[in-house]
């Protein structure tokens, strides 16, 4: 949960669960089911739009650099919706997950039609936003997909899996198959956030992962090299 609040024109404060900064805008989702967008101006912000999106917690919101006025948001009921700040329009995306879609992401920065969703229901889905009747692929990895971060290449993802630690997954070219590359089972608490940090060395495949835990308030740092795993992962798939 993001420890911040947004004050609206009616001086109400909203408990923010997710923020997504993009250029000079910030999309946010709230514990009361709301979704909105602010524009940053000097040391303050202007509320551009606010939607009463759901009766349930809105866990995640994302937008894409190619269309910053459009956002995708998910809620505790398992719904995913599309929001357009230009028209104040809400579109139903899907209700495929059984419940609790807590993670949305764009796997590819050059493709704003591909969205990934993950949830409490131990389901991971990939969607073509131009046709949302059903996902182009879905997986049941066996753990909660609380949050996903994507490496900049090779279709490799870092998953924060709450009581199961963190996983690094490798997907094939069309996201139809995947292999589990690494399971980091620490900290021994709920892992809500794992972030990817590039290590500035001569090795372009070296990364450092930061994983944080909830109850014991620990930060774990561990290393990952995409180059060393690449051949083994491709052989498995």
Give per-residue pLDDT as tens, 178-226. Answer: 999 899 998 888 999 899 987 766 667 888 999 998 888 889 999 888 8
Task: Provide, rounded to the nearest whole percent, the portion of the chain with pLDDT above 70.
Answer: 89
pLDDT of residue 203: 64
pLDDT at 1 over 80: no
3-state secondary structure of 71: strand
pLDDT of residue 7: 64
For residue 230, is it within any domain? no
Q: Say if CB 101 and CB 88 are below 8 A apart.
A: no
Comparing 54 with 127, the larger pLDDT belongs to 127
For the beta sheet containing 206-213, the strands, ordered from the edge strand earlier in sequence to the opposite edge, are 191-198, 206-213, 219-225
Q: What's the half-sphere exposure (Cβ side, CA atoms, 13 Å) at 127?
A: 26
pLDDT of residue 110: 85
pLDDT of residue 154: 82
Q: Name residue 148's beta-bridge partners.
A: 159
For residue 49, is it within any domain? yes
Domains of the chain: total: 1
pLDDT of residue 183: 93
172: preceding bond cis by omega (within 30 degrees)? no
For residue 217, is it within any domain? no
The CATH number of whichever domain residue 165 belongs to comes to 2.130.10.10
For residue 198, is it within any domain? no
Q: Say if CB 217 and CB 199 are below 8 A apart.
A: no
Return phi, psi of residue 164, to 5°.
-115, 10
Query: What pTM, to 2 d.p., does this model score?
Result: 0.87
pLDDT at 109 over 50: yes
For residue 220, is it within any domain? no
Q: What is the DSSP string of 136-203?
A: SEEE--SS---EEEE-SSTTEEEEE-BTT-EEEEEE-TTSS-EEEEEEE--SSS-EEEEEEEE--SS-
| Radius of gyration, CA atoms only, the chain | 18
Farthest CA pair distance, the chain: 58
Which secondary-structure segment (H or E) carries 229?
helix 226-236
Rounded to 5°, the CA angle 205-211-213 comes to 170
27-76 tens-digit pLDDT: 999 999 999 999 999 889 999 999 998 899 999 999 998 899 999 999 99
For residue 196, is it within any domain? no
**94 confidence band (pLDDT: 50, 70, 90):** confident
Average pLDDT, stretch 94-123?
93
How buried is residue 35: exposed, middle or buried, by Cβ count under 10 Å (0-12/13-18/19+)?
Answer: buried
The domain in which residue 53 lies consists of: 16-186
3-state secondary structure of 75: strand
pLDDT at 93 over 50: yes
pLDDT at 26 over 70: yes
pLDDT of residue 236: 46
For residue 173, is it within any domain? yes
Which secondary-structure segment (H or E) carries 227?
helix 226-236
pLDDT of residue 34: 94
The mean pLDDT value of the chain amounts to 88
How buried is residue 147: exposed, middle or buried, by Cβ count under 10 Å (0-12/13-18/19+)?
Answer: buried
pLDDT at 229 over 80: no
For residue 219, is it within any domain? no
């Amino acid at each position: 949960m993001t420890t911040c609040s947004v004050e609206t024109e009616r001086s109400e404060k909203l408990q923010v669960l997710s923020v997504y900064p993009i250029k000079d805008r910030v999309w946010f989702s709230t514990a009361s089911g709301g979704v909105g967008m602010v524009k940053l101006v000097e040391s303050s912000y202007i509320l551009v739009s606010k939607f009463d999106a759901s009766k349930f917690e809105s866990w995640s919101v994302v937008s894409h650099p190619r269309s910053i006025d459009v956002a995708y948001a998910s809620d505790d009921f398992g719904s995913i919706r599309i929001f357009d700040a230009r028209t104040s329009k809400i579109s139903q995306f899907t209700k495929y997950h059984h419940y609790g879609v807590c993670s949305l992401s764009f796997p590819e920065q050059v493709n704003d039609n591909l969205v990934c969703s993950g949830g409490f229901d131990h389901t991971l889905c990939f969607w073509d936003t131009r046709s949302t009747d059903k996902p182009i692929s879905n997986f049941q990895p066996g753990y909660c997909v609380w949050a996903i971060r994507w490496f900049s290449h090779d279709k490799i993802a870092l998953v924060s899996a709450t009581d199961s630690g963190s996983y690094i997954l490798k997907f094939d070219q069309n996201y139809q198959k995947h292999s589990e590359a690494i399971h980091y089972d620490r900290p021994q608490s709920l892992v809500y956030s794992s972030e990817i940090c590039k290590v500035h060395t001569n090795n372009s495949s070296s990364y450092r992962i930061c994983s944080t835990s909830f109850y014991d308030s620990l930060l774990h740092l561990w290393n990952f090299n995409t180059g060393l795993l690449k051949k083994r992962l491709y052989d498995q798939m």
